[in-house]
A and B are shown apart, each in its own frame.
Chain A
Amino acid sequence: MNLLDIRNLSIELDTPNGRVLAVDRVSLSIKEGEVRGLVGESGSGKSLLAQAIIGVLEDKWHVHADRFHWRGIDLLRLTIDERRALLCRDIAMIFQEPMSCLDPTTLIGEQLSEAIDSKQLSGYFWQRKKQRKEAVIKLLHKVGIKKHSQCISSYPHQLTEAICQRVMIAIALAGRPILLIADEPTATMESTNQGQIYRLLANLNQLKNMSILLISHDLENLTHWTSTITVMYSGQFVEAGTTEQIFNRPMHPYTRALVDSSTKANLQLPTKSRLMTLPGSIPILQHLPIGCRLGPRCPRAQQTCVSAPKVSNFHGHKVSCHFPILHESPRKESQKHKAVKHKTVKGNN
């Protein structure tokens, strides 16, 4: 069963020049125990989507969805408070910059202990404090911080970025979530720490069967850790499928370009030659192209691309493009051509 099932989620932003559609009908589903990657350039609305799921967007953002189910419960029928109460219990989120996501004036220990739900504690109220402290130390050990007493009694600015991120993960784990949303958890870290954080997340997934939504701009790195990937571009859904499908047989020109621009896929490239990239850059929110937003940059774009493409499903490999790159054996292709010809001949008759 799908843990999280979102269909056609749109996010609009109030600006002085009217509403801007920042995220345009994105669908996302997460199965139990799955690590799903969400890939896109910076500014493609990945973080917005994540924050919309957990419901912490500011008032100027407006979220709509056709379907928003969490473990079979229709969240759209609940009030905002009920929804938040439900989601905050089951979903936890790690934010991009851990340093700025910890209250600078509160001790780490306090911030951790307030994340622990008092329902998890047993015993009388005079035992609670001690139990809380033990739970905090346990959490810190779980995320690999050994000097717990030092960490508890320090402020966020006294710790390094990597330790702050671990503390954030510990805070996220405090609620024993079923789904963990990790929004670029290693954006500002060096590679050794990056590896450690990703390994920690992978462990949590394997040992606790925790589903993870891993948001990143780095497709190549993500393929190591995820089982399925969703690709977004400029607030639009691009492609979704298993990691294998996305990385080895991308069907959307944008995914193709993403894969081509990574170094791993280009090992055969001669030294000091340029990597493949799409011309131009991601459009700004005020000047979004109509239809498929990749249009102006897309090498396969044609006239039909001014209208938004529908999502087509190729054996679980979903792609939103009028002209997907089809990887089929030559024989099958010719068969298809024949069929098409046959059809047209029939039509003429």
Chain B
Amino acid sequence: MLTFTLRRISLFIFTMLVLTLLSFSLSFLFPGDTVINHSGQINATASELVQLNKAYQMDKSIVDQYGAYLTHILNGDFGQSMASQSPIRNEIIELLPATIELSLVALLIAMVVGIPLGFIAAINHNKASDNVILSLAMLGYSIPVFWLGLLAILVFSIGLGWLPSAGQISLLFEIEFVTGIQFIDILLSDSPYKWQAFSNASAHIILPACVIALAPATIFIRLSRAAMIEVLAASYIRAARAKGLSFQQIIFRHAIRNALIKIIRHVGLQFANLVTIAMVTEVIFSWPGIGRWLIESIYQRDYTAIQSGLLVLSCFIFIIHILTDFIYAALNPLARGNQHGS
């Protein structure tokens, strides 16, 4: 297990190095002065420019420049936003948790709904329920998210009035910013209206999270269906049946774990897709997350913000990847051993 952890950590470090290299090169590729793209200070005076050039070691070789850029990143200095001239670091700290919250809730919904449905479809393979679930999955996968988001607002917020259409929480509640993740902040706060705030925040998150979850859930349905069908055809299931186990025992003791192993890695891969969908959804539901901020910076040609936003988001996605890898190893004894080449 230790070697497994070390391997994942080293993989993380090297991937992050490549990612910083990419964002570093973006400064050269974007229009404008490289050092201004790095720092985001568009209104710098001549003396400030000299200082910046020195800080980013622009007079030295490109390797030194990269080193200087890396030091800035590691110190948490992403530069300033070109549009608002405030440090990007503060904006990210404020906005990223909201995105993390939204995408994790969406992932949870997608898994909780998608995987059992896929299993049910596989167990009733070639029967009516299998076909119904598959066609629903096909339908869900084909709906574009921006349209679905608007439709959901139209039906559930405006038409039925069940759920709020925008924002993270009602403005009436004043929640102190601690971690940025709304639910944790609410639980940490000592406001007398804590539980009202909690239910209000839950009502706010349901609609956007469901909209985001739809497409990944349909993918999970297909993945888990295929995995379950494969597992149910395996010889150890046949052997378990010959052992005299009942169908439920076979499914719960043997089939589900083996099918989950096949799915869990795809969950990590699908997460990148999910975050992309979340970015669009954040715009529709005015969710104060990093996705909306990033799209706005793209509109405003805020190169520094685009760079750092990409870096932070991909870092987040990669961490989720590694976490799913750990869950995979916990479920699968074959992955835990000293295997080479993985």
Contact = CB atoms under 8 A, between A and B. Distances in A.
Contacts of A104: 236, 258, 333-334
Contacts of B240: 103
A93 B245 CA distance: 13
Interface in A49-81: 51, 54, 56, 58
Nearest to A89: B244
Q: Among B242, B258, B261, B333, which residue has the most Cβ atoms of chain A within 10 A? A: B242
A155 B234 CA distance: 17
Contacts of A97: 235
B249 A114 contact: yes
B211 to A, nearest CB: 35
A106 B235 CA distance: 14
A54 B241 CA distance: 9
A202 interface: no
Contacts of A54: 242
A159 interface: no
B109 interface: no
Nearest to A51: B238
A51 B238 CA distance: 9
B239 A175 contact: no
B329 to A, nearest CB: 12
B257 A105 contact: yes
B258 A103 contact: yes
Interface string B241-263: 11111000100011001100100
A246 to B, nearest CB: 28
B331 interface: yes
A93 B242 contact: yes
Contacts of A157: 333-334
A171 B239 CA distance: 10
Interface in A74-98: 85, 88-89, 92-93, 95, 97
A125 B13 CA distance: 51
Contacts of A88: 241-244
A58 B331 contact: no
A126 B253 CA distance: 21
Contacts of B157: none
A100 interface: yes
A92 B239 CA distance: 10
B160 interface: no
B244 A56 contact: no
Given A105-B332, A106-B253, A56 B258 contact: no
Contacts of A100: 234-236
A114 B249 CA distance: 9
Interface in B191-239: 233-236, 238-239
Interface in B318-335: 331-334
A265 interface: no
A38 B242 CA distance: 19
Given A95-B238, A101-B235, A104-B258, A171 B243 contact: yes
A101 B238 contact: yes
B236 A56 contact: no
Contacts of A115: 243-245
A169 to B, nearest CB: 12
Nearest to B257: A105
Interface string A155-172: 101000000000010010
A85 B247 CA distance: 12
Contacts of A174: 243
Interface in A135-162: 155, 157
B253 A114 contact: yes
Contacts of B245: 114-115
A102 interface: yes
Contacts of B331: 105
A102 B236 contact: yes
Contact of B239 (A101, A117, A155): A101
A175 B243 CA distance: 8
Contacts of B233: 58
A56 B257 contact: no
Contacts of B234: 100
A97 B236 CA distance: 10
Nearest to B239: A101
B258 A105 contact: yes
Given A114-B249, A114-B253, A155-B333, A101 B236 contact: yes
A102 B242 contact: no
Nearest to B126: A59
A105 B240 CA distance: 13
Contacts of A171: 239, 243
B257 A106 contact: yes
Contacts of B239: 93, 95, 101-102, 168, 171
Contacts of A105: 257-258, 261, 331-333
Contacts of B243: 88, 92, 114-115, 171, 174-175
Contacts of B235: 95, 97, 100-101
B259 to A, nearest CB: 10
Contacts of A175: 243-244
Contacts of B334: 104, 155, 157
Contacts of B249: 114
Given A95-B235, A100-B236, A56 B333 contact: no
Interface of B: 233-236, 238-245, 249, 253-254, 257-258, 261, 331-334
Given A95-B235, A97-B235, 5 more contacts: A56-B241, A93-B239, A95-B238, A100-B236, A171-B239
21 contacts: A51-B238, A88-B241, A88-B242, A88-B243, A92-B242, A100-B234, A100-B235, A103-B236, A103-B254, A103-B258, A104-B334, A106-B253, A114-B245, A114-B249, A114-B253, A115-B244, A155-B333, A155-B334, A168-B239, A171-B239, A174-B243
* 4 nearest A-B residue pairs (beta carbon): A88-B244, A101-B239, A155-B333, A93-B242
